[in-house]
Amino acid sequence: MPQDTTHTDGWAEPTPTAVLVLEDGTVLQGYGIGAVGEAAGEVCFNTAMTGYQEILTDPSYAGQIITFTFPHIGNVGVNDEDVETVNAAAASGVRGVVMAAPITDPSSWRASRDLDAWLKARGIAGITGVDTRALTALIRDHGMPNAIIVHDPNGAFDLEDLKARAKHLPSMAGLDLVPLVAATQRFEWDETPWELGRGYGRRAEATHHVVAIDFGVKRNILRLLANAGCRVTVVPPTATVEEILALEPDGVFLSNGPGDPAATGEYAVPTIRAILERKVPTFGICLGHQMLGLAIGAKTKKMMQGHHGANHPVKDKTTGKVEIVSMNHGFAVDTDTLPASAQETHVSLFDGSNCGIALADAPAFSVQYHPEASPGPRDSHYLFDRFVSLMGTKEPAA
């Protein structure tokens, strides 16, 4: 069992039961939460003040350890309604979690259990008691480091071994992580958004059929597509253009997802390019946006700290309006490589990076952010209506 360190004033300081070891050898000590064991991944920070359960179940975080800059994580517990992962076999994309303050007892009428028990059940290791401000500053100055997080109730850590292993973890660049979180077979989706006193609904009728290519799609994206009057068929990321067109879609949706878009693009981009050539209306979000960019000949690049949070200002260059959006990405489309056929429609007001494109030679557009996450709260829902308009007017179908 861990031994307390007793100070001269008689106060006993508990022995650390968790460590976060960065690739440069930095060791951050704290107290373990969640699953006992270790996990390795890229450390990023998220600046959102709410929605930690949605963040922890966002498949786009596969291969990453999340540092929450907001100190009070876990204060409203967790429930079964706020899970964003669609693929139950994937459990959760995130590998570990870093927090400043200990988890408190949940205070919400919606809570069904506390966060610590939920993390244990999902196999996610965590650490509290960390100076997350200092860690965030380190990431801002030097980029997102690889690290190993270890939770051991006995406080036994081989730090030299952990430092050596953390130093040689593979970079996120070049990693195709989509197979870890995406669907492996086709399925239908008809659930609509949550409403107070009603819960989730079901789509009664549809005016369009959308085939959604799943690179790690979030539930609420599918809900808003259904809410927009779409019959949604979700297909695996490896679906061929022949398989997709055989479903006779009115439009194709390219979902969010984790990892390096260039790596996933090796098998997904040819399919997307063929869809564009056939002039099928196409809408992409996050990784889907990056995939669309790659399909038209643009390049993607790894960002130093990425964009992770629910308070990002993005300007719609077509209207001049500014939206407050949710973001989660460590790669971006390189604006300088966009072809003449692509118009940059949205741009980040934080760093000027590309956040949206529309094509002149195909009915297709995409955004880098998450319009379904609603931090604005509904600043960006118009994009789903834009997609429906792109598919044209049709009579309702059962």
pLDDT-based confidence at residue 98 (cuts at 50, 70, 90): very high
Report how far residue 201's alpha carbon sits from residue 221's, in angstroms, rounded to the nearest whole number: 14
Report how far residue 355's alpha carbon sits from residue 394's, in angstroms, rounded to the nearest whole number: 30
> Do the Cβ atoms of 337 and 301 come closer than 8 Å?
no
pLDDT for residue 250 is more than 90: yes
Query: Within its chain, how far is the Cα of 187 from the centroid?
Result: 21
- Residue 397: what pLDDT? 44
Q: H/E element holding 389?
A: helix 382-391
- Averaged pLDDT, 196-225: 95
Query: Which residues, in sequence order, are CB contacts of 117 under 8 Å at separation 6+?
Result: none
Active site residues: 286, 370, 372
- Residue 93: what pLDDT? 78
Q: What residues does 134 pair with on adjacent strands?
A: none
Query: Within its chain, how far is the Cα of 11 from the centroid?
Result: 42
Torsion of CA 369, 373, 379, 380, to 10 degrees: 50
Give which of 233, 182, 237, 198 is closest to 212, Cα–Cα: 233
99-141 tens-digit pLDDT:
999 998 999 999 999 999 999 999 999 999 999 999 999 999 9
Residue carrying structure tokens 């196999």: 123
- Give 188-193's long-range contacts (Cβ < 8 A, gap of 24+): 188/231, 188/232, 188/233, 188/234, 189/222, 189/225, 189/226, 189/232, 189/233, 189/234, 190/226, 190/231, 190/232, 191/219, 191/222, 191/223, 191/226, 192/223, 192/226, 192/227, 193/220, 193/223, 193/224, 193/227
325-366 tens-digit pLDDT:
999 999 999 999 999 999 999 999 999 999 999 999 999 999
* Structure tokens, 225: 């597509």
What backbone torsions phi and psi does residue 127 show, to the nearest 5 degrees? Answer: -140, 135
pLDDT-based confidence at residue 89 (cuts at 50, 70, 90): low
3-32 tens-digit pLDDT:
455 555 556 668 999 999 999 999 999 999
Burial of 352 (0-12, 13-18, 19+ CB in 10 A): exposed
78 by DSSP, 3-state: which? strand
Query: Which residues, in sequence order, are CB contacts of 241 under 8 Å at separation 6+?
Result: 270, 271, 274, 275, 278
Report how far residue 5's alpha carbon sits from residue 223's, in angstroms, rounded to the nearest whole number: 52
Query: Which residues, in sequence order, are CB contacts of 31 under 8 Å at separation 6+?
Result: 14, 16, 17, 18, 102, 127, 128, 129
Domains of the chain: 5-167 (3.50.30.20), 178-391 (3.40.50.880)
305-320 tens-digit pLDDT:
999 999 999 999 999 9
pLDDT-based confidence at residue 46 (cuts at 50, 70, 90): very high
